[in-house]
Amino acid sequence: MDRYVVFGNPIGHSKSPMIHKLFAEQTGQSLDYSTLLAPLDDFSGCATAFFQDGRGANVTVPFKEDAYRLANSLTARAERAGAVNTLSKLADGTLLGDNTDGAGLVRDLTVNAGFSLTGKRVLLLGAGGAVRGALEPLLAEKPASVIIANRTVDKAELLAELFCDLGPVSASGYDWLREPVDVIINATSASLTGDVPPIATSLIEAGKTLCYDMMYGKEPTAFCRWASEHGAGVVMDGLGMLAEQAAEAFFLWRGVRPDTAPVLAELRRQLAL
Ligand code: ATR
């Protein structure tokens, strides 16, 4: 049976094996998908050993940049992201690195929520790997503007410079912004500690602005609660992005696009338990 894994450290609570098992059942694909705890100091050795007979792998924290370096070739979006979350063994035995995180986010917004990003004013909160991975797929939707706001403004400026050839990107501090936007995407890790980036509530146009947190949890995240309390038109967490980035990886490996709706419903059901 074709073997796939997700590399991470820690990796015990990964939902990826469950997601890919459901995708495989749904599409009639025969494959084995499990977790693989890679040592912090030897991702490369662990991945090379796996790929002696393994077909593909997802890569999560903290190995996405190691996977970027390990890949023999890269998709354009992985090259831009500077990080790889999906490795695929090609027919000639070499490893292709892809990054499906941003595509997963865009698909959750445009397909699952039916929200077109074209011509919209988009505000991204944060300037870490999550934002870097999202920028190319977001800009490909031709928004009117993308503002990257971050606590450490230098990091936002660096990303804006890196992506400005792809569209209208600019950088900002949190407290410089006042005018309403169409979409606010929280890609900071602030929700982990129950914090919300200190942005003005005037950025939300009541009943209209879509607020998206890349994080998710059993209860609404701090950012989702903040958005609801201030009248956001739509509030979403990142569970859909998780399912969609996995579906993109599955499509890359198997050439079949699974239906994410029943898998997302199952993820939501299990999260509530
Ligand atoms: P990831 O790869 O998940 O993006 P990261 O590269 O560590 O993780 O980036 C975390 C992001 O969350 C950064 O933008 C960080 O802001 P700084 O660059 O200023 O450190 C942001 N962040 C983390 N905790 C935060 C908080 N409490 N308030 C605001 N921003 C926060």
Q: Which residues are catalytic?
A: 64
3-class SS at 145? strand
pTM of the model: 0.97
* Mean of per-residue pLDDT scores for the chain: 97
Q: Which residues have CB under 6 Å of ligand 1?
A: 126-130, 150-152, 155, 187-190, 193, 195, 197
Establish whether 78 is an annotated binding residue: no
Please report, rounded to a whole number, the percentage of residues in the chain having pLDDT higher than 90.
99
Q: For 24-58, how does the pLDDT look when each residue is reduced to its tens digit (9 = 90+)?
A: 999 999 999 999 999 999 999 999 999 999 999 99
Which residue from 251, 210, 53 is spatially nearest to 117, judged by alpha carbons? Answer: 210
Q: For 155-210, how does the pLDDT look when each residue is reduced to its tens digit (9 = 90+)?
A: 999 999 999 999 999 999 999 999 999 999 999 999 889 999 999 999 999 999 99
3-class SS at 121? strand
Residue 67: phi and psi, rounded to 5, are -65, -35
Q: For 115-133, how does the pLDDT look when each residue is reduced to its tens digit (9 = 90+)?
A: 999 999 999 999 999 999 9
CA of 12 to the centre of ligand 1 (A): 24
How many alpha carbons fall within 13 Å on the CB side of residue 190?
Answer: 19
> Average pLDDT of 99-112?
98
Q: For 7-20, how does the pLDDT look when each residue is reduced to its tens digit (9 = 90+)?
A: 999 999 999 999 99
CA of 127 to the centre of ligand 1 (A): 7
Q: Whose CA is nearest to atom 9 of ligand 1?
A: 128
**132, 188, 221, best to mutate for ligand 1 pocket (most atoms within 8 Å of CB):** 188
pLDDT at 255: 98
CA of 253 to the centre of ligand 1 (A): 31
In order of start, what are the domains of the chain with their CATH numbers?
Answer: 2-99 (3.40.50.10860), 102-239 (3.40.50.720)
Ligand 1 atom at minimal distance to the Cα of residue 214:
3
